[in-house]
Amino acid sequence: MMRKLALIIPFLIISAGCSSKSVYVPKSYRMKKADSSQTDKDKKEGAVVTSGIEEQGTNFNAPYDQVFNAAVESVQFLKWPIAFVEQDGGSIRLKEAYVYNKNGKLFRSYTWPSKSDTSRSNINYYLEKVAKYTPGTADTLFTQENLKIEVTKVSEDVTSVKINYSIRPYTLAGTIGYEVMSNGYIENLIVDHMKDVIGGEPVAMNP
């Protein structure tokens, strides 16, 4: 039985909002191409972005079941609800989330935010923390985020973990047109906590 975690993460403290009962199932985690008009608009606003999705892979020197359970436990401290877990298939998927600034604090919701919710939101500082993205003059109102973990048995004593974290920012001008690449901050929080749970160092990092 998983123990309830109460960890305080410096800088990144996001309160959980009211979640929808429906389960989000992403149609694809493939790279999204930038819309040319939005890309030109971003250049004018001075934003520096890196598009696409990059999976972070780690091999753990531990049996499959132990690593899978550690992965499930290690996403709990993000206070980001799980939408789907399949241990036999090695899949963990979190609910689609929307992050914005509400009353001066970062807030994670699981339904599309209203205009009133994001009218005074500016999360440029958060986006710089989690993505390869340097905002220009435009304010980033909110992000649309998905996170999926795939656990694969390599051998009896080695298990591979791949984390796919996608981030789509929305500015005052609308979506920038594509997903920006994670800088590994969130993934490293998960992997570091998995190391603590498993009690050992990962044996290798996969590009």
Q: State how far the Cα of 186 lies from the Cα of 194, in Å rounded to an integer.
A: 13
pLDDT at 16: 39
Q: What is the DSSP letter of 105?
A: E
Q: What is the dotted CATH code of the domain comprising 15-21+31-206?
A: 3.30.530.20
Mean pLDDT per 10-residue segment, the chain (207 residues): 37 39 29 42 42 66 95 89 94 96 92 90 92 78 94 94 93 69 93 88 48
* Residue boundaries of the structural domains of the chain: 15-21+31-206
pLDDT at 149: 96
pLDDT at 119: 86
Altogether, the residues listed in the chain come to a count of 207
End-to-end alpha carbon distance in the chain? 33
pLDDT at 38: 42
pLDDT at 138: 74
